[in-house]
Amino acid sequence: MATALIYDGEMTSHKLLWDDPLCKIEVPDRLTVSYEALVRSGLADRCVSIPVREATEDEILLIHREEYLEKVKKTPHMSVEELKDFSLQFDAVYFHPNSYHCAKLAVGASLQLVDHVMLGKVKNGMALVRPPGHHSTHDAACGFCTFNNVAIAAQYAKQTYGLQRVLIVDWDIHHGQGVQYCFEDDPSVLYFSWHRFEHSTFWPNLSESDYNAVGKDQGAGFTVNVPWNKVGMKNSDFLLAFCHVLMPAAYEFCPELVLVSAGFDSGIGDPEGQMRATPDVFAHLTHLLMNLAGGKVCAVLEGGYNLTSLSQSVCQTVQTLLGDPNPRPDNLDSPCKSALESIQCVRWAHKQYWSCFRHAANLPEGQISTKPVGLAKEEEESTVKKAKECVWPEPPKRVAPLVRTAVLLSDDSVCPEGCERLTSSDSPDPDVVNELRENFLKGDGDREALSALTDLITFMEKMEKNEICNGLAVVRDITMAVTCVVQQVTKAPSNRVLVVCVGDGEVPSNITGDGKTLMVQVGCRETKRSDHKSYIPVCLTKGCSDLSGFIQAVFGLLLPMGYEFNPSLLLLVRMPGSDVCDRMWQQLTGLLQSLAKGHMLVLMQAGENSCVSPTASSLLGNPAPPLGRLQAPLPQDVEEIERLRLKLQVDWKLLQNTARDARRSDEV
Ligand code: Q9C
Ligand code: ZN
């Protein structure tokens, strides 16, 4: 299924007609450079292009007050002087005679996207729109926004498709207070936003942007604010906010649709945000969301004012929506102390609403939120200039291998649709064959076993050459297969393999401590302890059958460690007799493909044929089916996961989620 791209050059006609230092960054070029970058990279061509339309008045009135709409409706007939006066009654806003038309197109584009996704005409998509939306409230334009595109889209989706749960992820660097106000008492919309806050000295200087604004009445717990109290947040800080805050809550919420307020002013070089997220991180943020809601993700452009950063980040987002393998998340620093403090506060503020946070740590000492609401601080001209001049390497081209998913199955089983059967090499390297025979078959001549191992090696080689993205191998002896793959992959000096074993059973014991292999076993029933730094058993009371515990382990341990380890290959092993259900298995398979450029080999035991086709489906990039609303994880599992996290965070900095875990060297 396709990815939608919605764009219309008409939306570039909205522009500033007078001098206004506050508004001058919101330029038409934001749209054209983004679109042109998509065209130049060939991504636009791969998307289904959907025409924009004007939103109807009724649609605008889903969120906005009639009085406000009537006022905006008059703007096309105003003179420049009148437009200027009209704009002045709002905070950081300008109107142009064509603004009303563009604002209707921006809403209409968002609704077109929702319709196409909800009706299954496309899998997901992005709408490039201007003016943006997330600051506008029911009766006011604000912060470059006229109508609240995403809020209207959420309300429209609820009404038109009878949705009961919509997730809005606002990764723009400003707080989408307009969206928050719309849904603060509505438990059917979970609103997540991170934003530059600096103890409310940053625009829009609202106390309700802080972590303790959690929603009201019925909607308590359904507003999740992550306030950044310092500038310069990096990839690791943003990824941690997803792993330790958004994702656990989102899985517990189980949305039927994900809307993204996709602002790229959190990206490096942005004069407003002053943050340092590189374009590739948006690929990861996008990917993490793509297994929610059966993959129904609609991204709608909000901010983003460094044209280079913006267009690169838009490309990363769209390419991920298209299903291409993610770039490797290189050079993740330790999260900074201030970010950890914020994450700790949000988790604490939400512990009574979400069972995934029930055992979250207390507020950090020396409470950080009690500072008085500050006055708007004038941004120094020099820092803005510095951000604009900031340089970073252009993200390397992401090349999708010709073969997405190859399978290694016994000859009598059918090849799942869309996959390619791996053809064994006719003349395997005799040295390799001899080595395998010596190492694994003790010199005896079991031909079948030998050719299974040579096939695995061929598989690895093709993946390494990027001829194949991922694959699935059904093997007779899983322990032997794991050992063989690990041995083969780690031969190359720069390779690293993350082995994720799902289910009970003995795992290969020859994992060396050279740092090239990391093995995590999730779900083993009997509590195992390991002093081996490279083997980490995560033992859950009910094995793999408890979804909540499993998800907690995935976002609390597995993914952060995976990101930090940054493997070149992911080996996902389904232990024989594991009681993991298809849905959980598909979620895991989907999520882990964010690592290792999507190079994942799934190993399963011959005889477990029923899971071949669900696995193949996930490897092919189909979104996993939702897990349903999750119950609270078992307290003893939460304790076990927390025990591990505390022990491991000494070596794995991305496992930190409280201020006292912090120790990034740049902090004092
Ligand atoms: N010194 C969006 O990104 N800045 N809007 C106000 C601060 C307004 C941002 C002045 C920023 C609005 C969609
Ligand atoms: Zn913004």
Instruction: Determine which of 91-95, 183-187, 266-270, 447-451 has the lowest per-residue pLDDT on average.
Output: 447-451
Backbone angles phi, psi at 506, to 5 degrees: -75, 135
Q: Choose which residue among 135, 200, 202 to substitute to test ligand 1 binding: the one with the highest number of ligand atoms within 8 A of its C-beta.
A: 135
CA of 271 to the centre of ligand 2 (A): 11
Identify the nearest ligand to the CA of 92 by its number: 1
The pLDDT of residue 377 is: 52
Question: What would the pLDDT profile of 583-609 be if each residue is shown by its tens digit?
Answer: 999 999 999 999 999 999 999 999 888
Is it the case that residue 186 has pLDDT exceeding 60? yes
CA dist list (Å): 500 to 290, 555, 602, 612, 627: 21, 14, 10, 17, 20
How many other C-beta atoms lie within 10 A of the C-beta of residue 412? Answer: 5
**The Cα angle at residue 201 between residues 662 and 367, in degrees rounded to 5:** 40
Is it the case that residue 31 has pLDDT exceeding 70? yes
Whether the CB-CB separation of 441 and 449 falls below 8 Å is answered with yes
CA of 174 to the centre of ligand 1 (A): 7
Instruction: Determine which of 191-200, 390-399, 501-510 has the lowest per-residue pLDDT on average.
Output: 501-510
Whether the CB-CB separation of 590 and 602 falls below 8 Å is answered with no
The pLDDT of residue 373 is: 42
How are beta strands 403-408 and 48-49 bridged, if at all?
Answer: unpaired
Q: Closest Cα to atom 11, ligand 1: which residue?
A: 143
From the CA of 263, give the closest atom in ligand 1: 3
The pLDDT of residue 546 is: 93
Query: H-helix or E-strand containing 501?
Result: strand 497-502
CA of 264 to the centre of ligand 2 (A): 7
Identify the nearest ligand to the CA of 171 by its number: 2
The pLDDT of residue 7 is: 98
Set 96, 134, 135, 284: catalytic member: 135
Question: What would the pLDDT profile of 546-567 be if each residue is shown by its tens digit?
Answer: 999 999 999 999 999 999 999 9
Confidence band of 665 (pLDDT split at 50, 70, 90)? very low
Q: Where are the domains positioned within the chain?
A: 3-332, 403-631
Q: Choose which residue among 129, 174, 301 to substitute to test ligand 1 binding: the one with the highest number of ligand atoms within 8 A of its C-beta.
A: 174
Is it the case that residue 668 has pLDDT exceeding 50? no
The pLDDT of residue 663 is: 66
3-class DSSP string for 549-613: HHHHHHHHHHHHHHHHHCCCEEEEEECCCCCCCHHHHHHHHHHHCCCHHHCEEEEEECCCHHHHH
**Who lines ligand 1 at CB under 6 A?**
22, 92, 132, 135, 143-145, 172, 174, 203, 263, 265, 272, 302-303, 379
Looking at the structure, give the CATH architecture of the domain made up of residues 403-631.
Answer: 3-Layer(aba) Sandwich (3.40)
Is it the case that residue 571 has pLDDT exceeding 70? yes
Q: Choose which residue among 203, 309, 375, 378 to substitute to test ligand 1 binding: the one with the highest number of ligand atoms within 8 A of its C-beta.
A: 203
Q: Closest Cα to atom 9, ligand 1: which residue?
A: 143
Three-state SS at 664: coil
Is it the case that residue 516 has pLDDT exceeding 80? yes
How many other C-beta atoms lie within 10 A of the C-beta of residue 648? Answer: 15
What does the pLDDT average to over 443-461?
84
Q: Percent of the chain, pLDDT > 70?
A: 96
Is there a common fold for 3-332 and 403-631?
A: yes
Q: CA 17 to CA 30: how far, in whole Å?
A: 17
Q: CA 231 to CA 229: how far, in whole Å?
A: 7
Selected residue with higher pLDDT from 69 and 431: 69
199 carries an active-site annotation = no
Q: Closest Cα to atom 13, ligand 1: which residue?
A: 303
The pLDDT of residue 451 is: 86
Confidence band of 462 (pLDDT split at 50, 70, 90)? very high
What does the pLDDT average to over 59-67?
98
Q: Can you say whether the dihedral through the CA atoms of 202, 207, 210, 215 is positive or negative?
A: negative
Whether the CB-CB separation of 134 and 110 falls below 8 Å is answered with no
Identify the nearest ligand to the CA of 170 by its number: 2
Is it the case that residue 353 has pLDDT exceeding 50? yes
The pLDDT of residue 369 is: 46
From the CA of 145, give the closest atom in ligand 1: 13
Q: Choose which residue among 90, 144, 302 to substitute to test ligand 1 binding: the one with the highest number of ligand atoms within 8 A of its C-beta.
A: 144
Both tokens assigned to 12: 């570039």
CA of 549 to the centre of ligand 2 (A): 35
Selected residue with higher pLDDT from 530 and 208: 208
Question: What would the pLDDT profile of 141-176 be if each residue is shown by its tens digit?
Answer: 999 999 999 999 999 999 999 999 999 999 999 999
The pLDDT of residue 443 is: 62
pTM exceeding the 0.95 threshold for the entire prediction: yes
Q: Closest Cα to atom 10, ligand 1: which residue?
A: 22
Q: What is the mean pLDDT of the chain?
A: 93
Is it the case that residue 210 has pLDDT exceeding 70? yes
Is it the case that residue 394 has pLDDT exceeding 70? yes
Instruction: Determine which of 286-290, 302-306, 490-494 has the lowest per-residue pLDDT on average.
Output: 490-494
Q: Closest Cα to atom 8, ligand 1: which residue?
A: 143
CA of 544 to the centre of ligand 1 (A): 46
From the CA of 303, give the closest atom in ligand 1: 3
Query: H-helix or E-strand containing 406?
Result: strand 403-408
Q: Closest Cα to atom 2, ligand 1: which residue?
A: 303
Identify the nearest ligand to the CA of 375 by its number: 1
The pLDDT of residue 568 is: 96
Confidence band of 426 (pLDDT split at 50, 70, 90)? low
CA of 348 to the centre of ligand 1 (A): 29
CA of 261 to the centre of ligand 2 (A): 9
**Among candidate residues 253, 240, 61, 233, the one with its CA nearest the CA of residue 159:** 61
Query: H-helix or E-strand containing 487?
Result: helix 478-489
The pLDDT of residue 368 is: 64
Instruction: Determine which of 196-200, 251-255, 382-386 has the lowest per-residue pLDDT on average.
Output: 382-386
Confidence band of 215 (pLDDT split at 50, 70, 90)? very high
Instruction: Determine which of 130-144, 430-444, 535-549 has the lowest per-residue pLDDT on average.
Output: 430-444
The pLDDT of residue 441 is: 81
The pLDDT of residue 505 is: 87
From the CA of 302, give the closest atom in ligand 1: 13
3-class DSSP string for 297-363: EEEEECCCCCHHHHHHHHHHHHHHHCCCCCCCCCCCCCCCHHHHHHHHHHHHHCCCCCHHHCCCCCC
One of 3.50.50.60, 3.40.50.720, 3.20.20.70, 3.40.800.20 is the CATH number of 3-332, namely 3.40.800.20
Identify the nearest ligand to the CA of 21 by its number: 1
The pLDDT of residue 376 is: 45
CA of 302 to the centre of ligand 2 (A): 6
Is it the case that residue 308 has pLDDT exceeding 60? yes
